[in-house]
Amino acid sequence: MEKDLEVKYYEELKNYTFREGAALFGVARTADLGERHLSLAPPVIMGLDRAVSMVFHLSDRVLEDVVTGPTKLYFFHYQRVNVLLDELALKAANFIQSRGWDALPIPASQIIDWQNQLAHISHKHAAERAGVGWIGRNNLLVTPQFGSRQRLITVLTDMPLRVDNPLPWGCLECRACLSSCPSGSIKENPADFDHVGCYQEIKSLIKAAGISQNICGLCVKACRPRKY
């Protein structure tokens, strides 16, 4: 009976988020994230044992504007998608609360420590554990449907939800992101990704573009959906 309830709530929440704009959906156990990927204080997340991951597909046409670095068009799109994701998380949290459960929406883009890549939660690792995709050589979430052309949001909850299984690592022979990176920060082995080099290159690119968001977009554009 408990498993039936988990499936029922899972399908109801998934269908609701799809109607509100989500393109992909998955659920993980928060306990599987670890302290590095979930840094909120224990009193805030106590009892919230599920992480709901939702994905919005970025505009492929907007990404065509990204040639040598981020552009104002991509910057505006990136910002508006974050707003949409935050609204999606609020609506999903409200949906959960209206059914008598607790929910905590995590902002789509709120970095606590950019240089060390730390936030309240790692949306990409939550999505990885939720079976949405895997962490690619470019240090981003890669999905079979969109490659890395997406943005992510997470809601923590105690609603009993079926948990998804992680996908196998799927980059395999694809190395499109390596040649797209002007700083050479992307390596053959994902564990060797150069966070500092990436950060320094982004600072240079956004200064040249005249924008205020730490974004690049080059490896996002390069990582297209494939048949893995």
- Reference 122, options 24, 130, 78, 185; nearest CA is 130
Mean pLDDT of 117-139: 92
pTM for this one? Answer: 0.93
Q: Contact, 133 vs 185, CB < 8 A?
A: no
Banded model confidence at residue 117, pLDDT cuts 50, 70, 90: low
* Banded model confidence at residue 115, pLDDT cuts 50, 70, 90: low
Mean pLDDT score, 1-12: 91
Q: What is the mean pLDDT of residues 70-87?
A: 97
Q: What's the pLDDT score for residue 28? A: 98
Alpha-carbon span 134 to 143, nearest angstrom: 7
Q: Measured between alpha carbons, how far apart are the two ends of the chain, in Å? A: 36
What pLDDT does 114 receive? 59
Higher pLDDT, residue 75 or 2? 75
151 and 89 in contact (C-beta within 8 Å)? Answer: no
- Report CA torsion sign: 5, 164, 132, 110: positive
CA 78 – CA 41 distance, rounded (Å)? 29
pLDDT band at residue 1 under the 50/70/90 scheme: low
Q: What is the pLDDT of residues 150-162, one digit of tens each?
A: 999 999 999 999 9
